[in-house]
Chains A and B, each alone.
Chain A
Amino acid sequence: MADSGVASGPAAGAPPASALGRAVRPVVSGRTWLAVIHLLTGPFIGVVAFAFFVTAAAAGVALLPVALVGVPVLGVTVWACRRFAAFERARFAVMLGVRMPAPRRDLSPGVSWWRRTWRALGSLVTLRQFGYALLRLPLGLVQFALVIVVWSLPLALLGMPVLGWLLPRLWAGADTGPVLGDRAGLAAAAALGLLLLLAAPQLTRALAVADIAIARYLIGPGSSADMTARIGELERSRARVVGAAEAERRRIERDLHDGAQQRLVSLAMDLGRAKARFTDDPEGARAIIDQAHAEAKEALVELRNLVRGVHPPVLADRGLDAALSGLAALSPVPVTVRADLPVRAAPSVEAIAYFVVAEALTNIAKHARATRAEVSAERRGDVLHIVIRDDGIGGADPRGQGLSGLADRVTGVDGKLSVHSPAGGPTVIEVDLPCGS
């Protein structure tokens, strides 16, 4: 479907038609009539939308002083606005063949529902969508009237000769009046009717194009100002992703330095001491070797756990589902894992999902004072939905370093991360990662 696909002409590749055929085809074309139906249904949809949104917005505003009860009402209104805009975009796609991209959603990481609602209330996108919902009725009424005129006028004019011929034959004494009795007048009316009928598809199209333009402005992807804002947001998000990756590299370096590397140094020293003592003090050497043995095993465990936290081989091999088992077993807090992933996501998405779960479980072990945790991963259409839940003390700060780093990673692939962690717990982290393309 082309972006401006309201064309009413013959399809490309159709056999060349006569001039008459070319002129008549738009009148009977399915696209023309879909456009007519589109314009005629507008006011009916508009009446429902108008009634609903005026009531909802009024109720929301009126209830605002009442302990902020209005906020959820307005939140629902905003949500309904978005759904209505999506419905209308779908209607434009089906009836007029115009595909309008949706405006970008607010993807700011780690933001609570309240704050998101609050932001959405003040956003231009919401305002435009709300305006569209209210405008649909008056706009639809005008379009309805114009479409009726555009099509009924030529039909009425064309009908006049028929009427002039029919009337005297139905009722012998019927008065045909000055117009219906005048043959020249009838011919002129018929000619004008035919002309207007052939022009009707063009006029219908013009109405549809106007409707599309209005809709595109109000519920479409938004103006260049929005695009600029979106680009700014992407730039910041990219900088955060790069920063997060850099921070992670530093963390890995530090972990290697403080962990395995130190252990190997100490191991080499111990073995050196044991070697020096070997002949004079075999018992002492033996004790040192025991210690070195333990140290070497510790180093292995630390290295393995380090890799486990970054990108274990099984993740690439058998996917997220299989890889989560290892994380669960590693956690000092008992973790149950439930995964329903019939299809694998892209490697980058799986890696981010894995990283998020790994970090969340580390945080739980460090801060939550939880007795148990639960990880669930499921595929919902094109979205990988992950929930990490614990029964700890809550109070996790979404803007804290760990969680905001996670959110940066998630927004880097246009995903969404939300944290619910009231003081006293429990903490629930939800992540949605788009898997499409």
Chain B
Amino acid sequence: MRIVIAEDSVLLREGLTRLLAEAGHDVVATAGEGEEFLRAVGQHEPDAVVVDVRMPPTFTDEGLRAALVVRRRWPGIGVLVLSQYVEERYATELLSGRPHGVGYLLKDRVADLAEFLDALDRVAGGGSALDPEVVAQLLARSSHPLVGLTPREREVLGLMAEGRSNAAIAAALVIGGGAVEKHINSIFAKLGLPPADRDHRRVLAVLHYLGAG
């Protein structure tokens, strides 16, 4: 996979580059600020980009804005945004109606290599990856009550919102695939959502229900 990285901290930029190269990916360019990053993306048209939210010159949401530009201008490129803090509000801006090919994770998640690479694969393949912390925030801010759901169903709902597949949900909860499907059907029935079999449509429905995207 061809990747462009935008990260202003040299330490992390080098670390990420090394980590992705060791996993067999090709980091075609790295950038330390937004404009430079967008030029690199235009030049290389990579499969995916990894972007830090906080970058110079403003050190606020520079990276997020660059990520939004990439999503608008090159819809085919997977965008994975990393941050020291994740915020439901940024996630909502990032998803904005189209939770395809986008991810938003805490930087810590890079420490769990397999999970991080899996998320990157999902994003590059048009799927989504939302940090569990973002999902927890979305649940706290949801305008709809989730009172009807059992604790297990809440867990499944959270994992769905993170963008996980049935198999991944089954593995995470140590239950069978059939049980996962049963829970999902029950959740959709209880929340009054139209049934959706494809992973992407399902994420869309869930995120929309939670008030994001």
Interface of A is mostly: helix
**A300: B residues at CB distance < 8 A:** 107-108, 111
Contacts of B150 in A (CB 8 A): none
Q: Report if B186 contacts A (CB, 8 A).
A: no
The residues in A between 307 and 356 inclusive whose CB is less than 8 angstroms from any CB of B are 307-308, 312-314, 316-318, 321-323, 325-326, 328-329, 334-337
A-B contact count, CB below 8 Å? 61
- A328 contacts B108, C-beta separation under 8 Å: no
Stretch with Cβ within 8 A of A (4 or more), from B81-89, B118-126, B172-180, B199-207 = B81-89
Q: How far is the CA of A297 from the CA of B107 in the complex (A)?
A: 10
Pairwise interchain contact B111-A293, C-beta atoms closer than 8 A:
yes
List residues of chain B with CB within 8 A of the CB of A334: 140
A314/B140 in contact, CB under 8 A: no
Report the minimum CB–CB distance from B34 to chain A (whole Å).
Answer: 15
Residues of B within 8 A of A252 (CB): none
Separation of A307 and B87 alpha carbons in the complex (Å)? 14
Interface residues on B, range: 20 to 34
Is B60 interfacial (CB 8 A cutoff)?
yes
Does B90 make an interface contact (CB < 8 A)?
Answer: yes
Contacts of B88 in A (CB 8 A): 322, 325-326, 329
Taken residue by residue from 125 to 162, chain B's Cβ proximity to chain A (1 for < 8 Å, 0 otherwise) reads as 00000000100111111000000000000000000000
Closest residue of chain B to A335, judged by CB? B140
B138 to chain A, nearest CB (A): 8
CB contacts under 8 Å to B, within A251-300, are 293, 296-297, 300
Cβ 8 A contact of B89, one of A297, A308, A325: A325
Using A296-B111, A301-B108, A317-B61 as known contacts, say yes or no to A329 and B85 having CB atoms under 8 A apart. Answer: no
B164 within 8 A of A: no
B141 to chain A, nearest CB (A): 5
Judge whether B54 is part of the interface by a CB distance below 8 angstroms. Answer: yes
Chain A interface bracket (under 10, 10 to 19, 20 to 34, 35 or more): 20 to 34
- The CA-CA distance from A296 to B111 in the complex, in Å, is 9
User: Distance (Å) between the CB of B208 and the closest chain A CB?
Assistant: 18
Q: Using CB atoms, name the residue of chain A closest to B86.
A: A326
Partner of B141, one of A293, A297, A301, A328: A328
Contact call B140/A336, Cβ cutoff below 8 A: yes
In the complex where A307-B85, A313-B54, A322-B89 touch, is A337 in contact with B60 (Cβ < 8 A)? no
Whether B137 pairs with A329 at a CB distance below 8 angstroms is: yes
Q: Which residues of A contact B54 (CB under 8 A)?
A: 313
Interfacial chain A residues near B84, Cβ < 8 Å: 304
Given known A304-B84, A314-B90, A318-B89, contact A325–B108 (CB-CB < 8 A): no
CB distance from A76 to the nearest CB of B (A): 38
A335 to B90, CA, bound (A): 20
Q: Are A297 and B111 in contact (CB under 8 A)?
A: yes
Give Cα A316–Cα B112 distance, bound, in whole angstroms. 30
- A318 CB contacts on chain B under 8 angstroms: 87, 89-90
Do B111 and A329 touch across chains, with their CB atoms under 8 A apart? Answer: no
CA separation between A276 and B111, bound complex, in Å? 23
A312 near B133 with CB under 8 A, answer no
Cα–Cα, bound, A322→B85 (Å): 13
B140 touches A304 (CB 8 A): no
B111:A325 contact, CB within 8 angstroms: no
Known contacts A304-B85, A314-B85; A325 and B137 CB within 8 A of each other? yes
Taking CB atoms, residues of chain A closer than 8 Å to B107 are: 300
Contacts of B85 in A (CB 8 A): 304, 307-308, 312-314, 326
Query: Besides the contacts A317-B60, A325-B138, A326-B85, what 15 more A-B pairs have beta carbons closer than 8 Å?
Result: A300-B107, A304-B108, A307-B85, A308-B85, A312-B87, A313-B60, A317-B61, A318-B90, A322-B89, A323-B87, A325-B141, A326-B88, A329-B88, A329-B139, A334-B140
Binding site for B on A (CB under 8 A): 293, 296-297, 300-301, 304, 307-308, 312-314, 316-318, 321-323, 325-326, 328-329, 334-337
24 A-B pairs in the complex with CB atoms less than 8 angstroms apart: A293-B111, A297-B111, A297-B112, A300-B107, A300-B108, A300-B111, A304-B85, A307-B85, A313-B54, A313-B60, A314-B87, A314-B90, A318-B87, A318-B90, A321-B89, A323-B87, A325-B140, A326-B87, A328-B140, A328-B141, A329-B88, A329-B137, A329-B140, A336-B140
**Chain B residues within 8 Å of A, Cβ to Cβ:** 54, 60-61, 84-85, 87-90, 106-108, 111-112, 133, 136-141
